[in-house]
Structure 1
Amino acid sequence: MLSPQSYVQTPEPRPAPARRRGWVIAGKLGITLLTLGLLWHSVVDNEATAAAWRGLLARSLGGQGRGPVLLALLLMPVNWGLEAWKWWRLARHLEPVSFRRSFRAVLVGLTLGFVTPNRVGDYAGRIMELKSRRLDALGAVFLGRYCQLVATVAAGTLGLLYFLVRFYLPGYPAAQLGLVVLTLVINLLVLLPLYYSELLVAAVQAVKPLRRFARYLAVMPTYPARLLTHVLLISGLRYLVFGAQFGLLLLAYGVRAPLGPAAAAVAGTFLLKSLVPSLNALADVGVRELSATHLFGLLGQPVLPVLSASLSLWVLNIAVPSALGLIFVLRLKVLRRKKPAAAPAA
């Protein structure tokens, strides 16, 4: 006997309105033009960066400094590959996601962050690559950036401690001991919200102006401590790669500071740069250069090679990947169709 036929029609997915698609296309083109304009201004039109870029190319193609520059260049995909690995570990807690898609999300976020205040476009670039739980993804992006901040603070406070003890407080053992204790306290206070994120969420809820952000951070306590430790280790490894790139470029430009003090100067530079909010990625340049030239100046190193190495680091790790990310921005699916609801049984 034939079963009764169901005449309930499954609704077809409705395409996004043409007007919305037009806005999306206009937005992508606007981001592309703005990114290209900033890249031109920062890499070609800006005299200091253009000189550093020409010096980087000369050292890459010539004999002097070719080895260190090429090594730093080879570490660029390693640097952002580690960031993609970190995001992959965080994102797959929310939904199944491939490493390839995670890498693409990181490049898109880098490009969008290039043209937005304090790099907030990084959040948008990553969550738009996810198919669901985009609200929770905001908390996941924040968690990844916070893990990187923990690594930066841990190394940077030790680096600044070296300079404070050696150059500013010699002969004051009590003050030096106080700084050591303060450094330990700062690192513990920074590490605490990572493993006890429910305290962070409660603190955000308790402050009225910040209360609206609590729902974005609510996903953080769902991450197990073991996963957080893995992400923190990846952040530390990425920090070492980034520091090694800076060291190689310093070597290529002729900076010859001892390894220990140079590592302290690099760590202090990264920390000071991370603590200062910026209007966009281009604004980071001045903060990093000012910090680097001051700290390496205390080590007796000339300003110009340090400035050139620092600007070249920005070109390698921000400008070039941001330009590559434009390819994925133009192909980004901003509007996703909702899945049709299942038809009721006849």
Structure 2
Amino acid sequence: MSQSNTNGKNKIRLSELNKWRHSTTGEKVFDIVNILFLVGFALLCLIPFINILATSFATPGEITTRSFILWPRTFTLDAYRYILSTPTIFRSIGVSLFVTVIGTSLSMVLTSFLAYGLSRKYLHGRRMFNFLIVFTMLFSGGMIPSFLVVNSLGLIDSLWSLILPGAVSAYNMIIMRNFFQGIPDSLEESAKMDGAGHFKIFFNIILPLSLPSIATVSLFYAVNYWNTYQGAILYINDHTKWPVQVLLRQIVLVSSGLNADATVVDVVPPAQSVKMAVIIIATLPMLIAYPFVQKYFVKGAMVGSVKG
């Protein structure tokens, strides 16, 4: 089976190569310019991250003498040793992991249930519910009403204040709803003839066929929860419950000599490399998670956004 797949891929590559050889001069020029443009755009996106990574490993002397670093002359782990030598970063990472895992799980349960219900054409009031959900994408109560709601629920200084207010995203729900609508109704009708109920149809038929949509929306929710910042600033006063993004802000403020709680973050030289090291540590989990859902990402986003 693997040999036949390899032969098939080789045939496809040869056909594409032959097609390119027989294309006109204008088409070849366009392909070359397009490739060069995309490579240049990719480098523009990649170079800043390489600079951050290189600066986090650079020595204090090199940081002061070089304004832009892509490859440090001398590697040092002092910034990472300093950050990892204090319990503050581990506590913040633990808070972010808790919020991300619990929040993503809860959001996927609520969003998938809501999307499945609204994807069924026989649901009474379906148009009205869809309109109300889309309406929230255009108009929202704002920061002060949201704070009053969270405060009235007694969620101030609770990690649930970082999870519950954004538990369901209208955009993510629409992606899942449109994906569910693309599943043939005949599958549901056949299951009903065999005596299956809505929950059995949902868990045994709909979800297994919706892995691209589930992976895509899960990634959206996970990135959103991991990068939570504004909610933590508004609702969390206890610094022991700060997520890693707020800790990053404190490090930037302290190292810049601005007002901040220096008892929480005591930055020592080199401050610039410490800031860059924290950025790498804060970004690394999402970079590790993305390759596992990459093969589902494009398919889930495109099908869920276009269909319906």
With normalisation by structure 2, the TM-score equals 0.30
Answer with 1 or 2: which has the greater Rg.
2
Higher relative contact order (CA 8 A, sep 6+): 1
With normalisation by structure 1, the TM-score equals 0.28
